[in-house]
Structure 1
Amino acid sequence: MKKIKIFSIILFLVSAVVYAGCRIYAGVMTDHTPPVISGGDEVIQVSVADPQEKLLEGMKAEDSRDGDVTDSLVVQDISEFDDEGKRTVNYAAVDSSGNVGYYSRVMQYTDYQEPVFALDSPLRFPVNGKFNICQGITASSTLDGDLTNKIKYTLDRAVTSSVPGTYQVEFRVMDSAGRTSYLPTVLEVYDPSEERIDVTLSSYLVYIGVNGAFNPSDYYAGADVEGELTIQSTVDTANAGTYYVDYTVTSRTAVGKSRLVVVVR
């Protein structure tokens, strides 16, 4: 019986040593080191038209055990713009043990422009008519193209379509980089019985630079009834802001109006 106890103790000790050895070996052999990502400039300059593959040019990923794992390198995500108009590109690469390495660098666009709006008709709607406030307005950006389905708006008060009046409305749209553009303007409900001349413009919304050239007459396209044209403009090209040009055509028996929105920036 004593020999059996001694044998059991020896067996237990041997098993413990083997188990401990296996744990130590496993710990030594287990790979916990992620790949190292490098290459490329700390700040990359790209066009908004460049494909995402452009961000991977010159980049590589090396792993201490697997060697070159550049094939696993991906763009994990791109941040929104920071206060300086820059974005951060975040990269990731993985090795055969599942370890993930990360890397970040700054990205600057060479040709980015913030989203802009366009109008194909004035924001004027007849009394008692059915209308969509976003009717005729579109938005686009150099980065994303068409953004019309992302347009949102805020009114200063609920529109009463049965009574002529004006309403302050602000349109806004945000692109995929987090940049939001705003268009504060005026929506008008008018009495069509008082306006029987259709006044047409070549554009209903234009953007011009501060101190840029602007001639209101250039945007008048004509009217369906001959009459006297009056142009009233609030545009101040020396200061950024949203301005209006009203075009009124008056004949002996009728009148018609249209409005151009001018954004100076």
Structure 2
Amino acid sequence: MKYIRITMMFLFVVSLGLYGLSWVKEKQLEDSTKPLLTSDREEMELSVDYEEGDLLEGLTASDAKDGDLTDQIIVGSFSQFLEPGVCNVSYVVFDSVNQPAVLTRKTRFTDYRSPQFTLSQPLVFRAGAGSNAVSQVGANDVLDGDLTSLVRLVESDVNYREEGEYSIQVEVSNSFGDTQEASLPVHIVEGSNAALEIELMEPLVYVKKGEGFDPNLYVESVEDADGNLVQGPSLTVESSVNNQEAGCYEVHYQVTNEQGLSGETWLTVIVRE
């Protein structure tokens, strides 16, 4: 029994020694240095039409053991806007033992503009025909693209059964938290005022504050109920647009042909800052 105890103690000491040697060797091989990720500028300026490689401009990464890691930098996430067109972009890089280095850099989109609403047709409907004005409203964004599915109806006072002037309030946000609202006019007209159809180049246009605006440039054609072009109709144009003040305005177009048939429509104009 004595020899057995001595043998077991010897094996224990040897095992402990081997473990100690293994631990020391592991510590010697362990990478105690973390990678370094740096930028040569505090703020990055980009176009909204950037490519992913543009986001990496001015960044370098290195590690004492692994050397240059610049080509392994990964673009992380975009923050919500700090101000319109300005956000933080995060980056990360890993060394060979998966130790990370993280950097956040302010990024400014120099040609950014807020989301804009669109219309698939003028918001003009025949009384009693039934419709849904908000279904004609879309939106687009220079960074996120089509936002139509995110357009939300906030408020509506439209009565599709009675002739009159109404409005719908709509809202949309892009992924950066830029929210835009608009109160869009809706017109319910009698059937006799829709015998002729005035085709517009666009049903909704944006005009920058202070820029010129000519309502006559937006009429494409006038057609009868069968889709035939009407030649030489008498067209009346009434514009409420004030291009010196931001807001939502309208241009009213009315037309009457030689047979006394008439039609009318409205162009929605949003003047932005």
- Counting matched residue pairs gives 264
Residue of structure 2 equivalent to 1:207 = 206
How many angstroms apart in 2 are the aligned matches of 1:137 and 1:91?
Answer: 37
Q: Would you say 1:133 and 2:140 are equivalent positions? A: no
TM-score by length of 1: 0.81
| 1:181-223 Cα distance to aligned partner (Å, 9 max, x none) | 3332022333314442323434322222223323434444564
Offset of 1:242 from its aligned partner?
0.8
Offset of 1:75 from its aligned partner?
0.9
Q: Would you say 1:240 and 2:239 are equivalent positions? A: no
Offset of 1:49 from its aligned partner?
1.8
How many angstroms apart in 2 are the aligned matches of 1:3 and 1:193?
Answer: 117
How many angstroms apart in 2 are the aligned matches of 1:19 and 1:114?
Answer: 64
Q: 1:34 to 1:92 in 2, by over 3 A?
A: same
Residue of structure 2 equivalent to 1:104 = 104
Residue of structure 1 equivalent to 2:263 = 256
Residue of structure 2 equivalent to 1:185 = 184
Q: CA RMSD in A?
A: 3.1
3-state DSSP of counterpart to 1:23:
helix
Output the amino acid matched with 2:76: Q
Q: 1:169 to 1:180 in 2, by over 3 A?
A: same
Offset of 1:241 from its aligned partner?
0.9
Residue of structure 1 equivalent to 2:170 = 171
How many angstroms apart in 1 are the aligned matches of 2:124 and 2:111?
Answer: 35
Residue of structure 1 equivalent to 2:13 = 13
How many angstroms apart in 2 are the aligned matches of 1:157 and 1:39?
Answer: 50
Q: Would you say the 8 A contact 2:126–2:191 is kept in 1?
A: yes
Offset of 1:4 from its aligned partner?
3.2
Offset of 1:77 from its aligned partner?
1.9
Q: Would you say the 8 A contact 2:138–2:151 is kept in 1?
A: no
Residue of structure 1 equivalent to 2:94 = 94
> Which shows bigger deviation, 160-169 or 120-129?
160-169
Q: Would you say the 8 A contact 1:150–1:174 is kept in 2?
A: no
Percent of paired sites with the same residue? 31
